[in-house]
Amino acid sequence: MRHNPARRNALLDAAIDVLAREGSRGLTLRAVDTQAGVPVGTSSNYFRNRDELLLQIMRRTHERITPEPDQVADIMRAEPTTDLVTLLLRQVHRHPPPRART
Residues in the chain: 102
pLDDT, tens digit only, all 102 positions of the chain: 668 999 999 999 999 999 999 999 999 999 999 999 999 999 999 999 999 999 999 999 988 877 778 877 877 788 889 988 887 777 766 655 545 444
Query: How many domains is the chain built from?
Result: 1
Range of the domain at 33: 1-102
**Looking at residue 2, what is its pLDDT?**
67
- The CATH number of the domain where 36 resides is what? 1.10.357.10
Compute how many other C-beta atoms are within 10 angstroms of the C-beta atom of residue 37.
11
Q: Judge contact between 43 and 11, C-beta under 8 A.
A: yes
**Looking at residue 101, what is its pLDDT?**
46
Angle at 86 between CA 81 and CA 89, to 5 degrees: 130
**Looking at residue 35, what is its pLDDT?**
97
